[in-house]
Structure 1
Amino acid sequence: MDLRLKRAYEPAGPDDGVRILVDRLWPRGLSKAKAALDDWMKDIAPSTELRQWFGHDPERWTEFQRRYRAELRQHAEQLERIRALAKAGTVTLVYGARDEAHNDAVVLKKVLLKE
């Protein structure tokens, strides 16, 4: 599977393949044209409650990963859809967070590659 991660504010590239926004909220100040997305899977993003609790606090990262993985178990159909796309070609998971190491797309990619 060819899964990549990219911030929504980085320009889309020809090698991005299928671009899927995996955040519940649209990235601030970003036009739909600049985002160049093929899909927006808001339902696969962390719940509002989990996102607000985490607040991108690296000290909560381990617990956030555990809780988000538990939430992802309820989205098997969407996970399979992304896996199928990634087996057919490149898929770029697009996210808005500034922190490139501690965000939902990082966890999602790990889950997609593991199972």
Structure 2
Amino acid sequence: MTQIRIKRVYEDPDAADGYRVLVDRLWPRGMKKEHLKYDAWEKDITPSPELRKWFHEDQAGHWEGFAAMYRKELENSEAAHRFIDALKSYNTVTLLYASKEPEHNHARILQQFLQEHSD
């Protein structure tokens, strides 16, 4: 079974990261493309622009609703299900995100979703 980790894009890469996937829709602020070590950029499995904007209006107050709506987007996403199939060929996958918030961010929701749906 694939081990799925999450890590901020600003942390140094490590050989233990395995397959590194950027899971932000927007390029990380202050990060030059040549400095970020990543294998894929999966924009299509990130929260929709509308959902992301709504969440950022009040992160603490919208967290529970955001998590539920993002999970629903993932359930209905062909891109997410294709990504789940693609993960099977890797021992370790690290989801890279830019958020300063380690607990309340979409990468954590995505990690849980992928763990629940991968065999």
Structure 2 length-normalised TM: 0.87
SS in 1 for 2:77: helix
> Which moves more between the two structures, 82-91 or 35-44?
82-91
Structure 2 counterpart of 1:90: 92
Unaligned runs of 5+ in 1: none
**1:83, 1:112 within 8 Å by CA — same for their partners in 2?**
no
Q: CA deviation at 1:112?
A: 0.7
Q: Percent identity?
A: 43
1:41-52 pair list within 5 angstroms? 41-52=42-53
Residue 84 of structure 1: how far off its partner (Å): 4.1
Could you list the per-position Cα deviations for residues 16-42 of structure 1 after superposition, in whole angstroms to 9, with x for gaps in the alignment? 111001110000110122210100001
- Cα distance in 1 for residues equivalent to 2:85 and 2:114: 7
Map of 1:1-115 to 2, 5 A cutoff?
Answer: 1-55=2-56, 57-82=59-84, 84-85=86-87, 88-115=90-117
In structure 2, C-alpha distance between the alignment counterparts of 1:77 and 1:49, rounded to whole Å: 18
Say if 1:79 and 1:112, in contact at 8 Å, map to a contact too: no
RMSD over aligned CA atoms reads 1.7
Gaps of 5+ in 2: none
Q: Is the 8 A contact 1:3 1:86 kept in 2?
A: no
2:69 & 2:63 partners in 1: Cα distance? Answer: 10
Shift of 1:87: 5.6
